[in-house]
Amino acid sequence: MNKKDMILKASKEINIRFSEVDSMQIVWHGSYSLYLEDAREEFGRKYGLGYLYIFNSGFYSPLVEMNFSFKDAIPYGTLIRVDITYHYTEAAKIIFDYEIHDAKDNHLLTTAHTVQVFLNKEYKLEWTNPTFYLEWQKKWGLI
Q: Examine residue 1 and state whether it is found in any structural domain, yes or no.
A: no
Give 22-38 pLDDT, tens digit per residue: 999 999 999 999 999 99
Q: What was the pLDDT predicted at 6?
A: 76
Question: Which of these, 64, 65, 60, 66, lies nearest to 118 by C-alpha position?
Answer: 60
CA dist 92 and 12 (Å) reads: 26
Is 117 inside any structural domain? Answer: yes
Give 63's pLDDT tier (boundaries 50, 70, 90).
very high
Q: Please write down the HEC assignment for all residues of 27-44.
A: ECHHHHHHHHHHHHHHHH
- Identify the H or E element spanning 114: strand 108-117
CB 60 within 8 A of CB 54: yes
Q: Are 110 and 68 in contact (CB under 8 A)?
A: yes
Residue 100 structural domain: 9-137
Would you state the pLDDT for residue 1? 47
> Residue 97 domain-assigned?
yes
Q: For residue 13, give the CATH number of its domain.
A: 3.10.129.10
On the question of pLDDT at 2 being above 70, the answer is no
